[in-house]
Amino acid sequence: MSTDRLLEALLESSVPFVIVGGVAAVLHGSTLLTRDLDICISLGSRNILGLQAALKPLNPRIRAGADLVPMALDEAKANAVKNLHITTDEGRLDCLGSIKGIGDFEAVHDESVEFDLEGRACRVLGLGALIRSKEATGRPHDLETVVQLRAIRERLGD
């Protein structure tokens, strides 16, 4: 997966987002691997259609079960989106309206920190909130990540 072009497309868009999940863990110092980019966004047609436009050069397709459907949402369909799981030529992107253990986009944004990614400001879920979300999700790989994130937090003195 190449998150570079995905992130570049997102950063150039007007859609506010917060990086969550495995990439957030890696940015905080985790060494575990991740296969997709997870972001939290405020849902609604404006943001979903903005995201669609930003990703167009990357050939976005919606993951619908085992099928990939071209991303061609209109305003009504965009308004109905609860979560969006996308495959692009540059990798997978999961767009979530809320994060377990944290809440909706506003709550996630409130618990995010700013990272400098190659000279560009980007919001990333804060370390404590990331630990809470991984614990709330409770999948084995999330709990493995929690062990590393707690060690990182301890090393940082938080």
Q: Which residues contact 104 (CB under 8 A, 6 or more apart)?
A: 42, 97, 98
What parts of the chain have a pLDDT lower than 50?
A: 1
pLDDT at 158: 65
Report which DSSP code applies to 58.
G
pLDDT at 118: 79
The CATH number of 3-151 is 3.30.460.40
One-letter amino acid of 100 = K
pLDDT at 67: 86
| Tokens 């943001």 found at | 47
pLDDT at 14: 87
CA 71 to chain centre: 18
pLDDT at 115: 96
Per-residue pLDDT of 23-50, as tens digits, reads 999 999 999 888 899 999 999 999 999 9
pLDDT at 2: 60
* pTM of the predicted protein model: 0.93
Q: Which residues contact 155 (CB under 8 A, 6 or more apart)?
A: none
CA 76 to chain centre: 23
